[in-house]
Chains A and B, each alone.
Chain A
Amino acid sequence: MAQQYFLHNRDNPDSNKIDFYLQNGGYKALETVVKEYSPGEVIEIVKKSGLRGRGGAGFPAGVKWGFVPKYSDKPKYLVSNADESEPGTFKDRYILEKEPHMLLEGIAIASYAIQANIAYNYIRGEFVYGARVFERAVQEAEEKGYLGQNILGSGFNLKVVNHRGAGAYICGEETGLLESLEGKRGWPRLKPPFPAVEGAFKCPTIVNNVETLANVPLIINNGPDWFSSIGPDEKNTGPKLYCVSGHVKKPGLYEFPMGKNLKELIYEDCGGMLNGSLKAVIPGGSSVPVLTADEIDVSMDFDSLAAIGSMLGSAGIIVLDESTCMVDALLNLERFYAHESCGQCTPCREGTTWMVKILQRIERGEGRVEDMDLLDDIAEKINFRTICPLGDAAAMPAASFVKKFRKEFEAHVKKGKCPVKKDKSIKATHAHV
């Protein structure tokens, strides 16, 4: 098995304590950075590594950091996005609970790079245990002088604040998050201005995903060339966490280099299908276009998945077998988006609700022949017409389910009932992590 950088301590109950982290080379990267590198040099190193955002969009982290205006005298903020709410995704929770110091060290280095003196970790409200572990880690790091005033004698100050969310998917979207952080409802903002220029409290702000930040110490310690040598090419680099859920024998969290073959992951690492044969895979969290069983021989990286019309997203891989009704599955997801839509934009608010209603009637056997085109049409009218990408996130699965499984949708309408032998029993598996 390839070397692991995130999951190698998974069986060690002390992995989240600072002493253990320090014994294994922890905070060396931070020390190097604050003592030897200028902020600009850190940004160059991260650019060179090719690190792309692990939160969904895959934007190059170093490039984003470079957008922070250098000569602004406003305070700058770093935000660690620990809202992890994309259905199918459970990697950041592992980092928060098991490797909080990797995250904290990444937060400290990123803050230094953009010269932020306050960093917020916006963690979803339900992660109570993760929040507790993270807060203890902050305290440990402050006591040892890795956070706080004059870090390691460098003159750099950083306060890290754990900020708990309160149950709203939309607060994972970076501008919804910033509104929420400012004490308002999590209503996404129109961009531009981009957060790097005007983010939290009208000041330059960088929002990065937990996994993105946790990669940063690895890049500093081992060098950007090492990092970019991992993965299929220079645009898709570094180690990667893959969340596998659904109908496989061993679901759970896996770590491989960027570009793991999806078919291999399912059939070898996850032990293959649990009972039935494979019908579909959603490869990057619930918001990305679905793949059919014969599309899964693909490299799990940003560009390879984009090339076949889907996305790496959050690498939340949802595996569905033949007992899954695709109408019912899409209905489950659209209900989620209708529930989580913040309601600011009409196409998103109304479109998701309509899709739920149409899917409900198709599933009940009361669908109409024109319903499939109607779904398609609604999805198209949401796409790119909303303030934030939640609208697209709701539209993409709908359009792809209808396109790739149209026959199954039509069979519902023709037969006047659901043609799939659904299995809703409780299924026991052996979770991997």
Chain B
Amino acid sequence: MNEETTTAINEETASGTIEFSGEGLQELEEILQCYPNKKAAMLPVLHLARQEFKTITPEVMQYVAGLLDLDPIRVFDVVSFYTLFPSEKEGQYVIQVCATLSCDVMGARSVVNHIEKKLGIEVGQTTEDGKITLKKVECLGSCGTAPMMQINDDYYENLTEERIDEILDGLE
């Protein structure tokens, strides 16, 4: 995130244009009951925001700040600290290949190379049609079944080139 984002967060102009769905608002009520103060609901509400809006834009951060009675900069501070709240638009499918030691020694680099070649993109990029984003990430807690990757919510383990092809070809 850059200076522009920070500035955008501090401007009040963007507020008031987005809102959670009815279901989202109901979930928000339930979340707030689980914590002794509103601020502690930050991560669950950001997860909800991600589910509803996909990207955590300055506008979303302002909205969340409003819901939690916080200064928007507090929300920005948190969003920028964690890796799971994307501030820029990602592909419909986000592939995260684990590249930490256990996966590395079992062939994670070859997995990444194979996917890069197949999709014609490099790590950090999204395919032109906006469908798939490729990322390299740290240990996902699945080291015994290395090499592995996560696509959106799901883990794919014990990867081979054939399996990767099958999985990628299966993405609608």
Contact = CB atoms under 8 A, between A and B. Distances in A.
Contact of B41 (A168, A183, A336, A427): A183
B81 A126 contact: no
Contacts of A182: 39-40
Given A166-B47, A183-B43, A332-B101, A318 B143 contact: yes
A201 B37 contact: yes
B145 A431 contact: yes
B144 A431 contact: yes
Nearest to B43: A166
A201 B39 CA distance: 11
A243 interface: yes
> DSSP class of A's interface residues: helix, strand, loop or mixed?
loop
A84 B68 CA distance: 28
Contact of A252 (B37, B43, B138, B145): B145
Contacts of A78: none
Highest count of chain A CB atoms <10 Å: which of B104, B107, B147, B150? B104
Interface residues of B, number: 50
A129 B150 CA distance: 12
Contact of A247 (B105, B138, B150, B157): B105
Given A180-B43, A246-B102, A251-B146, A87 B138 contact: yes
Interface in A56-80: 75
Contact of A93 (B82, B105, B141, B150): B141
A168 B141 contact: no
A329 B105 contact: yes
B156 to A, nearest CB: 12
A407 interface: no
Contacts of A164: 43-44, 47
B144 A251 contact: yes
Nearest to B34: A161
Contacts of B35: 161
B147 A426 contact: yes
B123 interface: no
A433 B147 CA distance: 15
A426 B138 contact: no
Interface in B121-169: 138-147, 150, 153-155, 157-161
Contacts of A128: 153-154
A320 B105 contact: yes
Nearest to B138: A336
A245 B102 contact: yes
A169 B78 CA distance: 15
A161 to B, nearest CB: 4
27 contacts: A84-B141, A85-B138, A88-B101, A88-B143, A89-B143, A90-B142, A126-B84, A126-B141, A129-B154, A166-B47, A167-B82, A184-B42, A243-B143, A243-B144, A246-B101, A247-B106, A251-B144, A251-B146, A253-B144, A286-B100, A320-B105, A332-B99, A332-B104, A339-B138, A424-B109, A426-B159, A427-B106
Interface of A: 75, 84-90, 92-93, 118, 124-129, 159, 161, 163-169, 180-186, 201, 243-247, 251-253, 282, 286, 316, 318, 320, 323-324, 329, 332-333, 336, 339-340, 424-429, 431-433
Given A129-B155, A243-B144, 14 more contacts: A87-B143, A90-B142, A90-B144, A125-B47, A129-B154, A159-B34, A163-B43, A167-B82, A183-B40, A183-B41, A184-B42, A282-B101, A424-B110, A426-B107
Interface of B: 34-37, 39-44, 46-47, 68, 77-78, 81-85, 99-102, 104-107, 109-111, 138-147, 150, 153-155, 157-161
